[in-house]
Amino acid sequence: MKVKASRQVESAPVEMEGAVDCTVRWLVSESDGAPNFAMRQFEVAPKGYTPKHHHPYEHEVFVLEGEGVVLEGEKQHPLAAGDVVFVAPDEVHQFRNTGSVPLKFLCLVPNAGQRPQHVSAECDK
């Protein structure tokens, strides 16, 4: 068993093309012995966003703090704390902070999807 405070897990910039003002903490991953999926916590600064992209694996997302939208292709869904998002494999998606405080969310991925291979440079800020 491993127990840790998420705030003490190292935070690193998201360096993927198309990401603006995002950081990520890998809370649980293969390096902890997790056999199937990984739990990451993202923090997106006001006006920041994650890449608009798609990939052949799913996301399971839980919004912890802040306000934003998730894009499903061109369609926007508003997001607030306590909201849950399931992004199916191959769906085009993007998370954007539309509020004045950091948007924080958990985003879980299967281990097979931890190294994205299909990133679009599309970035319609």
- Residues in the site for its own copies, rule: CB under 8 A? 1-7, 9, 27-28, 32-37, 39, 58, 60, 62, 64, 70, 72, 77, 79-80, 82-89, 91, 93, 106, 108, 110
Nearest distance, CB of residue 125 and its own copies, angstroms: 21
Q: Which of 68, 57, 67 is nearest to 94 (CA)?
A: 68
Residue closer to its own copies, measured from CB, 8 or 15: 8
Q: Determine whether 109 is exposed, middle or buried from the number of CB atoms within 10 Å of its CB (0-12, 13-18, 19+).
A: buried
Nearest distance, CB of residue 66 and its own copies, angstroms: 15
> What do you get for the CA distance between the two ends of the chain, in Å?
42
Q: Which of 40, 56, 35 is nearest to 95 (CA)?
A: 40
Nearest distance, CB of residue 19 and its own copies, angstroms: 19
Q: Determine whether 111 is exposed, middle or buried from the number of CB atoms within 10 Å of its CB (0-12, 13-18, 19+).
A: middle
Residue closer to its own copies, measured from CB, 19 or 71: 71
Are residues 43 and 11 in contact, defined by beta-carbon separation less than 8 angstroms? yes
Nearest distance, CB of residue 65 and its own copies, angstroms: 10
